[in-house]
């Protein structure tokens, strides 16, 4: 991350996915921790953000038509629409300088559902929060860290063919894959903490600022 604003616990921070100088998604969260090494946020059902309309359509269709979504991303031609998060509570750990983000999902009764690792670009601190870019590859991990499996490897390869992921970034992702698996096996880093979400009455969904799409 570059030098910039730091956020207090409970503040609103925006996580944006940005590709080639254009916002692909912008989502507001509540800050849990903001340190030199990591940035941790949480979100709840009802949270509203902006996302590519092709991505929204894909999600509503159960994840279908992902190739079209990736092609639209690579072309740089997309529009944004409003998207409301549903069903699950999330805690997201963004490692400074890392090519991955670790998320935890909980149900409405605050029971842990799964760990989810997104492989993405190193985070850039902004006046609103952080910017990054999702690299299409994911890792799904059992709540007790006993097992894990890879997800969307075909999409990752498709992204490489379309030029979204060059050889340099691919090498970083390969190293990050090994790092994440080692952290899971040793229960270290983001996998060392046992976090319980606060009750909904204590944390209302944050609002996306009106200037959330403005880039430097």
Give the mean model confidence (pLDDT) for residues 74-95.
Answer: 93
* Beta pairing partners, 39: 34, 94
The answer to whether position 215 is within a domain reads no
Sign of the dihedral defined by the CA atoms of residues 5, 118, 27, 161, in that order: positive
The answer to whether position 123 is within a domain reads yes
Q: How far apart are CA 110 and CA 118, in angstroms?
A: 22
Instruction: Please tell me whether residue 183 adopts helix, strand or coil conformation.
Output: helix
Q: Would you report the helix, strand and coil content of the chain in percent, each value rounded to 5?
A: 25, 35, 40
The answer to whether position 6 is within a domain reads no
The answer to whether position 3 is within a domain reads no
Instruction: Please tell me whether residue 88 adopts helix, strand or coil conformation.
Output: coil
**Domain count along the chain:** 1
Q: How far apart are CA 103 and CA 13, in angstroms?
A: 16
**Four-point Cα dihedral 152, 157, 161, 165, nearest 10:** 80
Helices (H), 28-108: 53-60, 66-75
pLDDT of residue 103: 96
pTM: 0.92
Q: Do the beta carbons of residue 131 and residue 18 sit within 8 Å?
A: yes
Using a pLDDT cut of 70, give the percent of the chain over it. 94
The answer to whether position 153 is within a domain reads yes
CA atoms within a 13 Å half-sphere pointing along the CA-CB vector of 16: 26
Q: What is the pLDDT of residues 179-216, one digit of tens each?
A: 999 999 999 999 997 777 765 545 677 999 999 999 97
pLDDT of residue 147: 97
- CATH number for 152: 2.40.380.10
Phi, psi of 205 (to 5 degrees): -60, 135
- Which range of residues forms the domain containing residue 109? 12-202
The answer to whether position 208 is within a domain reads no
Residue 7: pLDDT band (50, 70, 90) is very high
Residue 101: pLDDT band (50, 70, 90) is very high
Q: What is the pLDDT of residues 15-61, one digit of tens each?
A: 999 999 999 999 999 999 999 999 999 998 889 999 999 999 888 88
Q: Do the beta carbons of residue 165 and residue 176 sit within 8 Å?
A: no
């Amino acid at each position: 991350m570059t030098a910039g604003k730091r956020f207090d616990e409970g503040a609103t921070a925006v996580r944006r996915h940005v590709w080639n100088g254009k916002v692909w998604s912008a989502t507001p969260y509540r800050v849990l921790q903001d340190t030199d090494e990591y940035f941790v946020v949480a979100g709840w059902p009802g949270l509203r953000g902006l996302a590519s309309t092709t991505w929204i359509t894909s999600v509503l269709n159960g994840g279908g038509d992902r190739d079209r979504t990736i092609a639209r991303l690579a072309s740089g031609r997309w529009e944004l629409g409003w998207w409301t998060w549903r069903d699950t509570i999330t805690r997201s750990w963004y490692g400074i300088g890392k090519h991955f983000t670790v998320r935890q999902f909980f149900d409405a009764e605050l029971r842990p559902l799964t760990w989810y690792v997104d492989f993405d670009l190193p985070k850039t601190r902004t006046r609103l929060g952080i910017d990054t870019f999702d690299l299409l590859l994911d890792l799904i991990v059992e709540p007790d860290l006993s097992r894990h499996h890879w997800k969307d490897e075909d999409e990752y390869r498709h992204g490489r063919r379309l030029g979204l992921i060059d050889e340099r970034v691919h090498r970083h992702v390969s190293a990050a894959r090994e790092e994440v698996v080692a952290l899971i096996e040793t229960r270290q880093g983001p996998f060392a903490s046992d976090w319980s979400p606060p009750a909904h009455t204590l944390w209302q969904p944050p609002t996306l600022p009106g200037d959330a799409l403005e880039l430097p």
